[in-house]
Structure 1
Amino acid sequence: MDKPDDSLLCPITLGLFRDPVLAQDGHTYEREAIVEWIQKEGRSPITDQPLSLEHLYPNYAIKKAVDHFEKSLKNKNYQYILDIDVKKKAGRPLFQTFGKTIYYAEWLPTNNNRPEIILLKIDGARTKKEASFYVDLSRHPHIVRTYGFVYEERDDNDEDENNAVMLLQEHAPMGSLYDLLQERKKVPVEKILVEIFLQIIDAMIFLAFNGIVHADLACHNVLVFRFDEDNPRNKIVKITDFGLSRHSRLYALAPGAAKTTLNIIPVRYVAPEILSKNVTQDDYTEKSDVYSMGVLMWEAYSRGTIPWAKISDDNDVIRRVISSELLPKPSNCSESYWSIICKT
């Protein structure tokens, strides 16, 4: 396991420290994570030397640095001004698609002791909740961390309404699960895929508990923070881009917006009820997300193949999904897990 560049992140969870402890190997870990690791492995995840629970000591310096960072976010009310608090890095966007752009970003005045960040811009959208709600909703080990909203500085006489949302989020160094699968010559073995599925499901349960429907669950909306081919436990994925739909509880269409991802229905991933001509907010439920989870699992087993790839007409796909037709079973998927996918 490699140590992250950011001193505020636990090497095991890759999340911000809450209760950092120093171990015998000279490295700092989140207490709960390293205790579980020692109980199962007995050795350092970084140096492989023996570790014991009796030799874990609070790291007050790291705790102070994390508390200072978290306090600085709260003092800003999780709201930042572009080119004053944060800035876009020079160069082309990291990612761009219809209605959505991701930029590399930096903290101002310095990046020291602060996590790597990106700016996610969603055109034609407005937020429905306070910034703190989005921040708290991302405090889960398998949900991409949101640090707040970013606004462009405007003149007092500028009355133009801002028809875009900009979220400040943590950076995923390995891209999306879709990218990882596409770059590989073969699909990861099933035990690795299952660990990834369990992490996604854990995050989806958290969203459901908070009354949030993802509505666009797919491999391209799962980001990879660590991937170890040989160790199923040594991988971390996090979900992103949840709530981006016309009937979202998190976002609303901006007045007069013509270009927005909120209007797009990912027909090859959504449940039959979402494809109805008279779909309403009540049709977007955790059950519809469960259906999409099954499609995501099929996509992962199929090395990132787009569902119904041999069918070019989306209307034909819609007819097949509404009539309960199933995707074909991937050859590398065991009968037990295929049974689970079919039940979703």
Structure 2
Amino acid sequence: MKKCLLALAALSAAGCQTIAEEGNRLRPGLAIAADALANELPPEIYAIGAERSLHKPYGRLAADILNTGFSGDIGISREGRIATFSSPRDDDDTIPAWPWASVTKQIVAVMVMQQVEAGAIDLDAAAQNYLPSLASDIDSPTIRQLLQHRSGLRNPDDSPVRADGWPSFYTDGPTGIDWCTADRTAPTEDWRYNNCDYIVLGAILEAVTGSDLNNLFQANIVGPAKLSNTWIFEPGVMGDYHGREAAYDARLARYGWSAGLAGPIFDLLQFDRALMSGSLLSKQSLDTLWESDPALGYMALGQWVFEAPLKGCDTPVKIVERRGGIGKYQVRNIILPERETALVLTTSDESVDLREIWTGEGVMYDAISAVACT
């Protein structure tokens, strides 16, 4: 039996409503009856823990997005509140957590900048200064080059590919930091997307702080951003997540801190809000994090930052974008810092084409335009 479009959670200015935990599932503890919103929202909207002032306009937006054929979860943060919506799904698959895929890199980049801010890391210093195993006759990449995929490290995508299309790095072949740092080449001016860059950055963070990276994540991100149920995939240590399969359990654990975080989109929006508000980084550090390079396709540090014309807005809008994708999962995390607004979309439907924002059409363009320009 399919559920109606479901608003999973909302955050008012006063804070979260009561959440009851049952196993690894989080279910809202308070509900607003559907008829209480009947004259405010489209008839297919059923709100749980909903803040009416936010669900009224964005419930309609969520319905419009779903009418394009999108299936998954949609989250919006604006005016100090968070609203999340879910497309119809089976009763036995109501888990709110999703693999965040490479949105993990955005969070690791923030943790790196926290250490830059503390004086423990220099963005333009050789990475081998912090991780001696990188030392060789070949020039070491800098921290900035690791963040921007210009390191010259081996690439997991180049490991032998199995019949099912997955590189063996993520399945049953050699993996991890030792694989990443062996046989590297010199850093380059051009960039090539590479998960090993962030696996190495994770090791550098551990070396610099003397702390397990998960403990550092809990202290420096989870606590300040008030995340409720986000974890890193590790063998034998993980929570439940949408569309869970045993094969994904094993594969996602091999991504480590390049793409291994998972949690509800509510938590991801909490991270976005904390980043915009200054709870995670100073303004100077945030400016550095978001300083993009047109020569690198507007890549900043762990994310892409650019201006784009949007439908309904008089002037181009500054957009901070982080994409993620592993197998059937797609994630988009969009921050509009000048509007103190964030938008998250997640799906496990491989047929969904979210399109590129710069094309001026498609699900992402329409969604961002509606959030930013209405």
Q: Same fold (TM over 0.5)?
A: no
TM-score normalised by structure 2 residue count? 0.26
Q: Which has the higher contact order (CA 8 A, sep 6+)?
A: 2
TM-score normalised by structure 1 residue count? 0.27
